[in-house]
Amino acid sequence: MNRLDYIIKRLIMAVFVLISVSIMTFFIARVVPSDPAAAWVGPRPTQEQIDKATLELGLDKPLTVQYLRYMQGVLQGNLGTSVKTRQPILTDIKTFLPATLELVLAGMLIAVLVGVPLGVLSGAKKGSWLDHLTRLVSIAGVSMPAFLLGLLLQLLFFSRLGLLPLGSRLSTEISLTHPITPITGFYVIDSLATGNMVAFKDSLIHLILPAVALATYPIGLAIRMTRSTMVEVLNEKYIAAARLGGVPERSILFVLALKNAIVPTLNALGLAFVYSLTGAILIEIIFSWPGLGAYVTNAVLSVDFPVIVSVTLIMTVFYIFINLILDLAQAMLDPRVTLQ
């Protein structure tokens, strides 16, 4: 199957997956005991206000009709209105999603820069003290709950050493004296692009602790996957031939061997990226990070089902898209892989 046919096939499958997820999420959210109309009106609503809101929100219609109306809006780019914020959900997501993406991407960057080299060295030095140490780090990274590490990092670097801030994306003083001009929604990128070096430094410092806490699981995963594949690849004949030919060991490890060993690691990190998007909720709460996790948490607490359904759909789209990219990347990096 050629690449275009494969992409078309996956997109068709994606449509069915999205429809299935939307149906399950929509109907599960609606059977939760709550009164969205009363929540929409506000505190201490009268029965007349509730009845009026019920009609305005279309809650008097059967669930199937409500679902079809919702999906019609989705196809038109309208995800509905949040009961909690009274804002269009798409507007809220545009506000909160960049913060989460910045945090998750920073965590994944740390995971790649730390986990992959350690995995390479661990596989190359199999059985050595370095191998045992990196395997211990890997086990700790996979086993340690990210929220617990986040609290420990706050205790050490904020409470004890006073080196890094407790949380938030930017200091209050900096946000007032050196406000960031929004371009992408990523504070580090926007401040750097506009030459706001004071805000750049401050946003980068605020990003360190939550990104490190979120990176622990991907780091452990990257070490384990890279090490296991490096052990296999380094036993191949072409590696022995390269060593006999006088190729430097660094080039053998980080060019020849890593090229073939990195494919399973990339697949694992791609799935870890999606996991981090949904798993960043506790990290965002601990570090007062105004991202999608905090937004969804408030939606769940207030039974804001339009937000719950919409965010679930968006996370599903991320999952499908990243899986497609990973499959295509694997086929490009490894000619033995066929697209089916």
- pLDDT confidence of residue 140: 87
The whole-number pLDDT of residue 329 equals: 73
Kindly report, residue by residue over 83-122, the tens digit of the pLDDT: 777 888 888 888 899 999 999 999 999 999 999 999 999 9
Whole-number pLDDT of residue 215:
92
pLDDT reported for residue 193: 92
Say if residue 45's pLDDT is above 80.
no
Q: How large is the average pLDDT for residues 317-323?
A: 82
Q: Which domains does the chain have, with CATH numbers?
A: 89-301 (1.10.3720.10)
Highest mean pLDDT: which of 6-20, 107-121, 236-250, 275-289? 107-121
- Mean per-residue pLDDT for 234-258? 85
- What does pTM read for this prediction? 0.84
DSSP, residue by residue, 103-170: HHHHHHHHHHHHHHHHHHHHHHTTTSHHHHHHHHHHHHHHHS-HHHHHHHHIIIIIIIS--S-SSSSS
What's residue 31's pLDDT? 67
pLDDT averaged over every residue in the chain: 84
Q: Is the pLDDT of residue 316 over 70?
A: yes
Flag the least confident range among 90-99, 136-145, 299-308: 299-308
In which band, very low, low, confident or very high, does the pLDDT at 338 lie, cut at 50, 70 and 90? Answer: low
Q: Give the Cα separation of 320 and 336 in Å (integer).
A: 23
Least confident of 5-14, 27-36, 140-149, 232-241: 27-36
What confidence score (pLDDT) does residue 335 get?
A: 60
- The predicted pLDDT at position 58 comes to 72
Task: Determine the pLDDT at residue 189.
Answer: 93
Q: What pLDDT score was predicted for residue 241? A: 87
Helix axes 305-333, 63-75, angle to 10 degrees: 50
Could you tell me what percent of the chain has a pLDDT over 90? 22
pLDDT computed for residue 65 by the predictor: 83
User: Is the pLDDT score of 70 beyond 90?
Assistant: no
pLDDT value of residue 67:
83
Mean pLDDT of all residues in 255-282: 83
Which pLDDT does position 337 carry in this prediction?
A: 57
pLDDT band at 339 (very low <50, low <70, confident <90, very high): low
In this predicted structure, the answer to whether residue 211 has a pLDDT above a threshold of 90 is yes
Would you state the pLDDT for residue 333? 65
Nearest to 296 by CA among 151, 96, 104: 96
What's CA 66's distance to the chain center, in Å?
A: 30
**Using CA atoms, how far apart are residues 140 and 15, in angstroms rounded to an integer?**
39
Tell me the C-alpha distance between 276 and 319, whole Å: 11
Higher pLDDT, 122 or 303: 122
CA–CA separation, 143 vs 141, rounded Å?
Answer: 6
pLDDT of residue 61: 78
pLDDT in the model for residue 106: 94
User: Average pLDDT of 203-212?
Assistant: 94
**Whether pLDDT at 319 is above 80:** yes
Greater confidence (100 vs 280) lies with: 100
Q: How many CA atoms lie within 13 A of 291 on its CB side?
A: 30
Q: What is the DSSP string of 81-97?
A: B-TTT-SBHHHHHHHHH
The Cα–Cα gap between 105 and 214 comes to 10
Is it the case that residue 254 has pLDDT exceeding 90?
Answer: no
Report pLDDT for 323: 79
